[in-house]
Amino acid sequence: MSSIEKIVEQALQDGYLTPAMEAEVGRICDTASELSIEEYMALDRLMGSLLTGEVVAVPRKQFINVMEELVLTEAIARVAEIEASSDCTLDLGDVAAYALNRLPPLYATTEEGATYQREKARDELSALIAEQVKDAIANSLNRPDFFPERQTLKRSNGEPGLFGQMNDLLKDYAHKFELQANAA
């Protein structure tokens, strides 16, 4: 049984097609020179199940971690200050990940919940967020470059430095803004 068939069977059993399952099916279809009859039949069965509601495609994000946007806002400001006043370059993703790993998550599923979490964090956690970002930057500045060949999880769109990283982050977190701006 191929991977596509296994994924479809799992989706039918669970009643859900997760983003990871969807990505794997896409990867297989993109890289295979040709699919077998069984694979086409499995894909057809999956499509039918999605159309009837027997299988539900789980949206890529049903929730957000408000802490991510708060840490990114703080990290962008601090990294920009450092890069403007020195010749060093910091990886915004490294700084944010380091700080996020030391802070509590603040998940929300609605705009109201996100607003509540933001206000709560500003009232109770702003000093801790600033401290963790400061520690993350210090860690990044003091870390030797012993793995220069390491690759980031998401490749930049070609723009170097902070602006390229900010552009990538904005694409991930502010996609609704672009849609609203284009609709206006």
CA distances to 113, 130, 151 from 121, rounded to whole Å, are 12, 11, 32
Beta bridge mates, 64: 108
As given in the structure block, the two tokens for residue 54 are 């027997």
Q: Which of 63, 71, 65, 77 is nearest to 99 (CA)?
A: 71
Same domain, 136 and 99: yes
pLDDT digits (tens, 9 = 90+) for 56-73: 888 777 788 999 999 999
Confidence label for 116 from pLDDT (cuts 50, 70 and 90): very high
Considering the domain architecture, whether residues 49 and 106 belong to the same structural domain is answered as no
What is the pLDDT, as a whole number, of residue 112?
93
Looking at every residue in the chain, the average pLDDT score rounds to: 83
pLDDT at 74 over 50: yes
Scan for tokens 């964090």, then name that residue. 121
Q: Is the pLDDT of residue 111 over 80?
A: yes
> How many domains are contained in the chain?
2
Tens of pLDDT, residues 132-157: 999 999 999 887 665 656 665 554 44
pLDDT band at 172 (very low <50, low <70, confident <90, very high): low
Say if residue 107 is in the same domain as residue 80.
yes
- pTM given for the model: 0.56
Range of the domain at 77: 64-183
Both 152 and 95 in a single domain? yes
Based on the fold, state whether residues 169 and 126 are members of the same structural domain: yes
CB atoms within 10 A of CB 112: 9
Name the residue with higher pLDDT: 180 or 120: 120
